[in-house]
Structure formats: C-alpha cells, structure tokens
Homo-oligomer: A and B are copies of this chain.
Amino acid sequence: MKVKKTTSFHYIKNDILQRIKTRQWHAGDYIPNEAELAKTYDCSRSTVNRALQELAYAGIVERRRKAGTRIVLQPIRSANLQIPIIRKEIENKGAIYRYALLERKIISANENIQIKLELNQSSKILHLRCLHFADEIPYQYEDRWINLLAAPKAKDEVFEMISPNEWLVENLLLLEAEHIFYAKNAMAEHADLLDIAVDDALFVIERRTRSSTQVITLVKLYHNGSTFKMISQG
C-alpha cells in the first residue's frame, strides 16, 4: 500500500493542464480558488500558488486578485526563441568559423540612427560592417552601430581579430535586447557580400541592446537561407 507523502506543484500543474486539455474545465472559465484547490489536492495553498503562478507565466491562465484565476480564452502563442550565437551555430554544424571586418568608421549619427539609438543629439557612433563565414562561405552579414557614449572603450578596439558581438559580451553586460525579424530582398551590396543573387530572400534580425538607461548597440544581421527553430511549450 502506497502512502501519499506530499503533492508536488508539478503534479498540480500537470493535472490542471490535463483538465483543460480534456475540456473538464473550459477556456474562459474561472477555476476554483487556491484554498479550494489546496483541499482538492490535499496540500498547502503555497503549493497550489506556485503551480498556478507557473501556469500564469506560461500564459495558460490569467490571475487577478479578488477576481480569481481563469483559463485564457485564446492562449496567446508565445514561444521562447533561442537566438544562436553565430560562431556556435556554425561550429555546431561542423563547419569552420571565420570572422572578417569589412569596415570600421567613426561617424556622427544621422537622424535615423540617432532615433534608433535614442540619442538626444547627434554624437559619435562606431559603425562596423562585418562578415561571418562558414567553411569560407559567407554566412551572415552584420551591419552594426555602437553608441560610443555607452561603450567608450570600443574606440580603442580595432575589431580585426574579434567580432563586435564577442567584444561586447566580454566588455559589457548585455542583458536587455529587443528584436525584430523580417524578410527582405537582397540588394546589390548584400548579394555581392553574401555571394548570392540580387533579390534573393534574406532573413534579417534587427537587434537593439540596451542597459537600463541607454541603447548600447544596434545591429542588423542578414542571413542567407538560415532558419531559426524554436519550440514553444504548453
């Protein structure tokens, strides 16, 4: 005879998910409150609370004080995307990675860059253009702007041997980032650099990295044919 010891929040989480999946509880409905669930599962409210908080974080339920917990109507398709580090992505494929600097220039921010870097007035920006190769085949073209107010040390780095991303990771801590993805036809410049045809579809990642107070860097990454795979959990 088995003796129940404790009910895990994992068990509760799965059980509630199961009830939702089997339509025992319907989308839009409020589910019993924590105290009642604690009785049902014969555990403490803390345990139920943890299970429900994780379900809320995963977007399965919505919680509001006094109102209660209800099953999200149309579970928003949120997905956790792991954006690969270019060197690792290439090396994981068994290819040899090579980095090359195309251009390094200190410029004054034009209006467009000024807005994107959230600068009050035009100031000095380090503009870098680079290429990443996999087995000597152009793999990604990188167009980057570094805010020298936020990263003054970048002035002293030539970026011949180290890629901007790796330098930034080593020299600053990049925690907050904002991404935009889109598709774009290759322009003559891109085609030339990536050794593809003009108008070939490019997958572009635009990333803005910031500290709490300022934008540190803006980068546009042009991929040729590369895909991103992500798994969203439920």
Chain A contacts to B: CB under 8 angstroms: 17, 20-21, 23, 27, 60, 74-83, 85, 169, 173-185, 199-204, 207, 211-212, 223, 225-234
Contacts and interface: CB of A to CB of B under 8 A. Distances in A.
Which of A85, A169, A181 is most buried by chain B, counting CB atoms within 10 A of its CB?
Answer: A181
Nearest to A207: B77
B82 A179 contact: no
Contacts of A201: 183-185, 201-202
Which of A82, A182, A223 is most buried by chain B, counting CB atoms within 10 A of its CB?
Answer: A182
A81 to B, nearest CB: 5
A46 to B, nearest CB: 9
A177 B80 contact: no
A202 B234 CA distance: 28
A149 to B, nearest CB: 17
A173 B20 contact: yes
A177 B227 contact: no
Nearest to A181: B228
Contacts of A233: 176
Nearest to A178: B231
Contacts of A207: 77
Counting from the closest, the 10 A-B pairs by CB-CB distance are A175-B234, A183-B183, A176-B234, A77-B83, A183-B201, A183-B203, A201-B201, A182-B227, A185-B201, A79-B81
B182 A200 contact: no
Given A81-B81, A182-B227, 16 more contacts: A20-B175, A27-B173, A74-B85, A76-B82, A77-B177, A79-B83, A79-B179, A175-B234, A177-B232, A177-B234, A178-B232, A181-B203, A183-B201, A183-B225, A185-B199, A201-B202
B185 A200 contact: yes
29 contacts: A17-B175, A20-B175, A21-B175, A21-B211, A21-B212, A23-B173, A27-B173, A75-B174, A77-B83, A78-B82, A79-B177, A174-B234, A176-B232, A178-B229, A178-B232, A180-B228, A181-B181, A182-B203, A182-B225, A182-B227, A182-B228, A183-B183, A183-B201, A183-B204, A183-B225, A184-B201, A185-B200, A185-B201, A199-B199
